[in-house]
Amino acid sequence: MFQIRLARGDIGDAKAGRAKAAMCEACHGLNGVGLRPDVPNIGGESDIYLVAQLTHFRSGERQHEQMSIIAEGLSDEDIENLAAWYSSIQFSVTLPP
């Protein structure tokens, strides 16, 4: 299991992931901010979480009309690179007053 074996930041090539993310951009943006309210923000998610979700979409464990099809075409390396890219984005939050 990726989630157990690997520590955050250990996987993938963020530069290759940034290039591959062209295919994600129409919904998630290059910066990982969802462009529609049904699309999650993924910028700054951990690489471990991102690898798990893409792997689950590819295996069918998690289902989504678009993501299930998109993930089918991803290699393990693609998944690790995409996870490296989106997890390399800095993420910060501010609580409402």
Backbone phi, psi, residue 39, to 5°: -110, 125
Which listed residue (16, 27, 44, 70) binds a copy of itself by CB under 8 A?
Answer: 44
Report, in Å, the least distance between residue 2 CB and a copy of itself: 9
82 with 74: CB under 8 angstroms?
Answer: yes
Which one of the spans 20-28, 68-76, 85-93 is the region binding a copy of itself (CB under 8 A)?
A: 85-93
Query: Cα dist. 95→44, 68, 69, 77, 89 in Å?
Result: 17, 33, 36, 36, 20
Contact region with a copy of itself (CB under 8 A), list: 19-27, 43-51, 68-76: 43-51
Report the C-alpha gap between 59 and 14 in whole angstroms. 23
- Is residue 68 within the footprint of a copy of itself (CB under 8 A)? no
Residue numbers of the site for a copy of itself (CB under 8 A)? 3, 7-8, 14, 30-34, 37-41, 43-49, 52, 61-63, 88-96
